[in-house]
Amino acid sequence: MTESKGLTINDVARKCGLSRSTVSRVINNHPYVAKEKKEAVLKAMEELGYKPNSVAQQLRSNKTHAIAVLVPRITNPFYSRLIEKMETEASLLGYQIIICQTRYSKEREVDYLDMLRSRKVDGVILTSIQNDWKDIETYLQYGPIVMCNEFDDQATIPSIRVNQMDGSYLGTKHLIEQGHKKIAYCKGGTKSNIGKKRREGFNKALKEYNLSSVNDVVLTNAFSIEDGKRIFHELPEDITAVFTGGDEVAVGIIFEARENRVKIPEQLAVIGFDNQVISELINPSITTINQPIEEVASKTMEVMIQKLESDKPSNIKEIYEFPVKLIVRQSTVLE
């Protein structure tokens, strides 16, 4: 942040024994700081001779110190874990997180992006994308936008994501190595680039084992536990394994299989995605793909705050891609 005599906000924090966040709040005249803390910070600043750059400070004082994070559904633990970590990082740096649920609606996504224009927030993080890039791009003039998880190849902004293609490739390869030849593929929305990459990974694995021609069962609208229950009944007889694209869908399939006395993995192997808490707790536990959610969230917040605290707007594409990992459990392998 601001500097004088080479001193930083960290030096002030160390001097008064309070957090960076508290120091930042005092400097920016944030409404809620306990009187004693405020005095301690001001005292430390005086003793060190630390003076926040006044121009930068004025610029900052127009700011809301709020960042909107748009997610499709907070009931999906993937998104709630992502937010949990983003919020921890943001609050360490004196920023507030505002969570906006789009429920996959183009209209709601634009309503929330509009918070940038009306100065309710300083920046927006998109974890899913409903609108075309050209419609999102117009909001860039009001503040930084960062993509996390979902991405758009045309977008000239930072995007932080995982190697989705590798995820589905590893998962599908694992199913094939267990002897499966007919594997059903579940997908969510149609516009998603995550979906596109995952499909590529699935196809890559099939191709490597010359199984492309026998695999054309695609189940759509796979998001929730309820969807998994429905999909169980839509599976053709000859399918022996399902790539679900999400642990919640896998949970739904496993639950319905249990009700219908179909044995997992003997009669049907199921692979999830995300390594959610429930994938370990359910019986049988679910083979899944782990995404480093905490690292992705931290990096996203780091990049966003860099953009907010630098005075020049940047219109370049930046990509940060994290690796994924296969976690083998009971839903695909007999113990």
In the bound state with a second copy, the residue whose beta carbon lies nearer, of 149 and 203, is: 149
Structure tokens at 165: 């293609």
31 touches a second copy by CB under 8 A: yes
CB of 253 closer than 8 Å to CB of 270: yes
Give the nearer residue to a second copy in terms of CB position, either 166 or 256.
256
Considering the complex, state which of residue 63 and residue 317 has its C-beta at the smaller distance from a second copy.
63
Q: Between the CA of residue 170 and those of 93, 193, 291, 320, 327, what are the distances in Å?
A: 37, 18, 13, 20, 10
Name which of 212, 206, 198, 204 is nearest 274 in CA terms: 198
- Partnered with residue 184 across adjacent β-strands are 242
Strand order in the sheet with 183-186: 218-219, 183-186, 241-243, 269-271
Question: In this complex, which beta carbon is closest to a second copy, that of residue 87 or of residue 274?
Answer: 87
Per CB under 8 A, 92 contacts a second copy: no
- 125 touches 100 (CB < 8 A): no
For the CB of residue 82, give the shortest distance to a second copy in the complex, in Å.
10
Question: With respect to a second copy, which residue has the nearer C-beta, 96 or 298?
Answer: 96
The token duo for 53 is: 């750059």
| Residue range at the interface with a second copy (CB under 8 A); choices 97-105, 178-186, 189-197, 293-301 | 97-105
Identify the CA nearest to 144 among candidates 156, 153, 132.
Answer: 156
Q: Does 28 help bind a second copy (rule: CB under 8 A)?
A: no
Nearest to 196 by CA among 153, 165, 161: 165
| Contact criterion met (CB below 8 Å) for 230 and 171 | no
Q: Which of the ranges 1-9, 109-117, 154-162, 321-329 carries the binding residues for a second copy, by CB under 8 A?
A: 109-117
| Tokens 């020049």, located at residue | 312
Minimum CB–partner distance for residue 68 and a second copy (Å):
8
Residue range at the interface with a second copy (CB under 8 A); choices 91-99, 169-177, 190-198, 310-318:
91-99
Residues 207-246: x where in contact with a second copy by CB under 8 A, - otherwise, as a string: ------------------x---------------------
Site string for a second copy, 275-304 (x = CB under 8 A): --xx--xxx---------------------
d(CA 235, CA 327): 24
Stretch that binds a second copy, among 3-11, 117-125, 213-221, 326-334 (CB under 8 A): 117-125
Q: Which residues pair with 287 in a beta bridge?
A: 271
With CB under 8 A as the contact rule, the residue among 29, 61, 75, 310 that binds a second copy is 75
81 is an interface residue for a second copy by CB under 8 A: yes
Stretch that binds a second copy, among 49-57, 67-75, 164-172, 184-192 (CB under 8 A): 67-75
Reported residue count of the chain is: 335
CA–CA separation, 55 and 88 (whole Å): 28
Contact 148, 78 (CB under 8 A): no
User: Which positions lie near a second copy, rule CB under 8 A?
Assistant: 30-32, 64, 66, 73-75, 77, 80-81, 83-84, 87, 91, 96-101, 103, 107-108, 110-112, 114, 117-118, 120, 225, 251, 255, 277-278, 281-283
